Amino acid sequence: MQERPVISFAFPRPGRALGAILVAMTLVGLGSAIASAWTADGSWLVEALACSLATALTQPWRLVTSGLVTSPEHWSHLFFSLLGLYFLGAPLERRWRGWRLVRFLVIAVVLGNLATLAIDRVLPPGAQPRFHPGLVYGPASAIAAIAVAWSREYPDTQVNLFFVMPMRGRWLMWITLGFCVLNLIYPEVEPEGVMAPFGGVLAGLLFGGSPSLMRRAWLRLRLWGLRRRSAGLTAAEILAPKTARRPRPGAPPLRVVPGGLEDALKKRNPPKDKRFLN
């Protein structure tokens, strides 16, 4: 049976991977806020990790590190980002294991930044400034992706939205998409960029679920390749003896080590009284 977690007032226990991400985001968020409030050049930490659209392709690590940065101007950005990752990420980590969750979040942040970069290049310079942000940061794409992935993994699980509204897990994906559309309608400027959550939704659709759409496509491609390869085989090729593989350079020579049960039985002296051989 599939595990059916319920998002409510219960506090799930995150694994090592999610715990490390939450700790890193907390340290970066508090560090950027302290630096912004108490140092002369307070934005140096944000500028060091955030993604600049002008240098996104020449400094590709910023496509990933920008997901750890939150707004130093108010605590709510850090708090709600940690809250979303904590409650939605813990059930996925238990089901996916840590490495898949980390890889999924990295892909979501990268796709979110690429979506923001794409809309910046496509729209003319005269468009609204929120479509041409100079510096983007924040985990909005990761939270959108993890919400969509959660809804695909647990579509029939009851979710208490905002801890009050009971609903099925499959509706969480549509609510997430609705919030993404609202960000386009209302003029409030998001530090991640208005298109970043759409990149997260795309990541959730492609890489969420067990198996995910990308894994299904990969397995079908491999099956097609195997069928095409087997269709061209003849009976003579199938029955032909396989050629011995050449040892790779520098590999140690293979040798047979004497011993085992057969050698032990050969060296054993037969008993004098053979009544007990059975």
Predicted confidence at residue 227, as pLDDT, reads: 84
Could you read off the pLDDT tens digit of each residue along the chain, which spans 278 residues?
A: 455 655 444 677 888 999 999 999 999 999 888 888 887 777 788 888 888 888 888 888 989 999 999 888 888 889 989 988 998 888 899 889 889 999 999 999 999 999 999 888 888 887 788 888 888 898 999 999 999 999 888 887 776 665 566 677 788 888 889 888 888 888 777 888 888 999 999 999 999 888 888 999 999 998 888 888 877 777 676 677 777 667 677 666 666 666 666 766 677 776 666 665 55
Predicted confidence at residue 275, as pLDDT, reads: 62
Structural domain includes residue 227: no
Predicted confidence at residue 53, as pLDDT, reads: 83
Structural domain includes residue 6: no
List the CATH number of the domain containing 67: 1.20.1540.10
Predicted confidence at residue 30, as pLDDT, reads: 92
The count of domains in the chain is: 1
Structural domain includes residue 170: yes
- The boundaries of the domain holding residue 52 are 16-219
Structural domain includes residue 265: no
Structural domain includes residue 261: no
DSSP-assigned letters across all residues of the chain:
------BSSS-----HHHHHHHHHHHHHHHHHHHHHHHSTTTTHHHHHHSEETTSTTTSTTHHHHGGG---TT-HHHHHHHHHHHHHHHHHHHHHH-HHHHHHHHHHHHHHHHHHHHHHHHHS-TTS-GGGS-SEE--SHHHHHHHHHHHHHH-TTSEEEETTTEEEETHHHHHHHHHHHHHHHHS-PPPTT-TTHHHHHHHHHHHH-TTTTHHHHHHHHHHHHHHHHHHHT--HHHHHSPPPPPPPPTTPPPP-PPP-SHHHHHHHSPPPS-GGG--
Predicted confidence at residue 203, as pLDDT, reads: 93
Structural domain includes residue 245: no
Structural domain includes residue 233: no
Structural domain includes residue 99: yes
